[in-house]
A and B are shown apart, each in its own frame.
Chain A
Amino acid sequence: MIYFYPEGVNLKIDESKQIVEALLIASPEPLTEARFKAAMGEVKTKAPLKEIIDELQTEYESSNRSFFIKEVAGGFQIVTKAEYETYIKGLFTKSGKLRLSQAALETLAIVSYRQPVTRNDIEAIRGVSSDSSLRTLLDRKLLEIRGRDEGPGRALLYRTSSEFLQYFGLNSVKDLPKLREVEDILSEDQEELL
Chain B
Amino acid sequence: MLSRSHRIDLEMFEGPLDLLLFLIKRDELNIYDIPIAQITKDFLGYVELAKELKLHSAGDFVLMAATLMKIKARMLLPVEAEGDEEVEDPRTELMNMLLEYKRYKEASSAFAEMERHERPHYYHIPVAFSPQQEDQTAILEDVKLYDIMLTFQYLLKNFEEPVTHAVAVEEVTLSEQIGFLQGLLQSSPKLSFANLLERFESRLIVVVTFLAILEMLRNRQVKVKQSKLFDDLLLSRGSKFEN
What residues make up the interface of A, taking CB atoms closer than 8 Å to B?
Answer: 25-28, 70, 77-85, 88, 96-97, 99-100, 102-103, 105-106, 108-110, 113, 125-129, 138, 144-145, 166-170, 177, 179-180, 182, 185-186, 189-190, 192-193
Return the contact of B101 from the options A26, A85, A126 (Cβ within 8 A): A126
Shortest C-beta distance, B109 to chain A (Å), equals 8
| Nearest A residue to B112, CB-CB | A105
Cβ B14 vs Cβ A70 within 8 A: no
Cβ B60 vs Cβ A128 within 8 A: yes
**Helix, strand, loop or mixed for chain B's interface?**
helix
Please count how many residues in chain B sit with their CB below 8 Å of the partner chain's CB atoms.
Answer: 44
Does B99 have its Cβ within 8 Å of any Cβ on chain A? yes
Cβ B122 vs Cβ A180 within 8 A: no
What residues make up the interface of B, taking CB atoms closer than 8 Å to A?
Answer: 14-18, 28, 30-32, 56-57, 59-60, 64, 97, 99-112, 114-115, 117-126, 144-146
Cβ B146 vs Cβ A145 within 8 A: yes
B124: A residues at CB distance < 8 A: 25, 78
Shortest C-beta distance, B215 to chain A (Å), equals 14
Cβ B114 vs Cβ A168 within 8 A: yes
Q: Give the CA-CA distance A102 to B14 in the complex, in Å.
A: 7
A27: B residues at CB distance < 8 A: 126
Q: Give the CA-CA distance A186 to B60 in the complex, in Å.
A: 26
Cβ B100 vs Cβ A179 within 8 A: no
Interface centre among B28, B104, B114 (most CB of A within 10 A): B104
Shortest C-beta distance, B26 to chain A (Å), equals 12
Cβ A185 vs Cβ B99 within 8 A: yes
Interface centre among A25, A88, A126, A166 (most CB of B within 10 A): A126
Q: Give the CA-CA distance A125 to B107 in the complex, in Å.
A: 13
Cβ A182 vs Cβ B103 within 8 A: yes
B18: A residues at CB distance < 8 A: 127
Cβ B114 vs Cβ A170 within 8 A: yes
Shortest C-beta distance, B50 to chain A (Å), equals 11
Cβ B99 vs Cβ A182 within 8 A: yes
Return the contact of B104 from the options A97, A125, A166 (Cβ within 8 A): A125
| Nearest A residue to B127, CB-CB | A28
Cβ A109 vs Cβ B111 within 8 A: yes
Q: Give the CA-CA distance A168 to B102 in the complex, in Å.
A: 21
Shortest C-beta distance, A89 to chain B (Å), equals 9
Cβ A105 vs Cβ B108 within 8 A: yes
Q: Give the CA-CA distance A100 to B57 in the complex, in Å.
A: 19
Q: Give the CA-CA distance A100 to B97 in the complex, in Å.
A: 24
Cβ A127 vs Cβ B144 within 8 A: no
Cβ B101 vs Cβ A127 within 8 A: yes
A105: B residues at CB distance < 8 A: 108-109, 111-112, 115
B120: A residues at CB distance < 8 A: 82-83, 85
Cβ A125 vs Cβ B117 within 8 A: no
In the complex, given contacts A82-B121, A128-B60, A193-B30, what are 14 additional A-B residue pairs having Cβ atoms less than 8 angstroms apart? A70-B121, A85-B119, A96-B119, A100-B115, A102-B14, A106-B105, A106-B108, A108-B111, A109-B108, A127-B60, A145-B144, A168-B115, A177-B114, A185-B99
